[in-house]
Structure 1
Amino acid sequence: MGNNNYLANIIRERRAVKNGYTNKEVKEETIRELLETAIWAPTHGMRQPWRFIFVGADQLPTFAKKVASTYPEERQQNREDYLNEPNAILVVVMEETDVQKQWDENFGATASMIQNFWLLAWEKQLGVVWKTNPHIYDPKVKEILNVGDNEKIIGFVHLGYFEEAPAKKDRISLDEKFSTFNG
């Protein structure tokens, strides 16, 4: 399979980039290009249960205002400012099902696809953070985005190019998380 150090390094170096974005525009064509590869994630029954809503820089202020309006009045300005921080947002939507096994499989596939996207973006110094703020659960936000009854917003993926990577945070030692079954 060749040398896997490159992939191992990308996996270990990837960070959540929550701020400190440059002014470089995040273009729809770039996101589409990354997604063309990211969607090759494992997916049970080839269901590919995801879809995407891209919010570019030109639409971000309107989008931020609409989503912020679903919050209590005293929180709206804070939330609007927060949603205007990234250069673009990718809303990831997952198809839901009443069958728990399939729901779990769909979520696993969608999470895997997001990880693929994140690693591919990292290579291009495009910062990513997967946000699951309260608004993703709000029926009014689903309505604003035309998300169906049989769909779930998995997250708002905040996007922006960066120059300086966030500091590394250590992981818990594998020894603390690993055991061998001894029937």
Structure 2
Amino acid sequence: MNHQEGINAIEKNIINRRTIKSFKKEPISPEVIIELLNVAKWAPNHKLTEPWRFQLYVEAGKEKFIEAYIQSQPKVDGEVSEKVKRKAQYFRDIPVHLVVIMPEDPRQRRWDEDYGAVCSFIQNFQLAAWERGIGMIWRTNDWVYDPTFRNAIGVTPGEKVVATLMIGYPDHVPAARPRTDIRELLTIIDKR
């Protein structure tokens, strides 16, 4: 029996979404991204703080993002390494880069609630995009913490880069990797 029989479209979308690392070069209009962000904004959000802001890098604007990445990388004898150059070219070939930024509230509870809301927002965005045939990878590489990268893209002290989303139409969709059955991770408490 097909494990997806009897489930609804939302459930199928959640199960079938994949992290995409290989993209077609076909561009995506900023308007499409804006439409998807307007869907994603309905994420659960305590107190409706809407603790997010975004930077969208497309076309020639991607160079600002890529240069910030390059500047944040260690140099070898004053030169950018071949590995960094290859990664920069990989970034150039991806149609869209979206940086998701949240304010870092000093109150732990507010910080936790805001971070949860932003992560829910990103998942909504991924699922809405997937429904339209658009894939992405959610990156939180070490360089997003580097002051050189942060300064170069205008992230200020007191803000957290929650994600750099690299977005495009999938060139390759990887197979699903196994997930643990929830029964193995669930404790049911049915008595006092």
Tell me if TM exceeds 0.5: yes
C-alpha deviation, 1:61, in angstroms: 3.1
C-alpha deviation, 1:147, in angstroms: 1.2
Give the stretch that moved more between structures: 168-177 or 61-70.
61-70
1:74-89 equivalence runs, <5 A: 74=81, 76-89=84-97
* 1:9 corresponds to which of 8, 12, 15: 12
Aligned to 1:146: 154
- Contact preservation (8 Å) 1:68, 1:79: no
Aligned to 1:60: 62
Deviation string, structure 1 residues 115-174 (Cα, Å, up to 9, x no partner): 000000001111111001111111111111111212111110010102542211121011
Gaps of at least 5 residues in structure 1 are: none
Distance 2:143 2:26 in 1: 27
C-alpha deviation, 1:107, in angstroms: 0.5
1:7-156 equivalence runs, <5 A: 7-19=10-22, 21-73=23-75, 74=81, 76-156=84-164
Distance 1:131 1:153 in 2: 10
- Contact preservation (8 Å) 1:69, 1:76: no
- The 4+ residue runs of structure 1 with deviation greater than 6 A are none
Partner SS state of residue 188, structure 2 = coil
TM-score, normalised relative to structure 1: 0.91
Partner SS state of residue 171, structure 1 = coil
Distance 2:158 2:30 in 1: 26
Identity %: 32
C-alpha deviation, 1:62, in angstroms: 4.0
Taking only aligned residues, the RMSD between alpha carbons, in angstroms, comes to 1.7
Paired letter, 1:29: E
C-alpha deviation, 1:69, in angstroms: 1.5
C-alpha deviation, 1:180, in angstroms: 1.2
* 1:161 corresponds to which of 169, 181, 184: 169
Q: Given the superposition, is the C-alpha separation of residues 40 and 18 from structure 1 closer, same or farther in structure 2, using an over 3 Å criterion? A: same
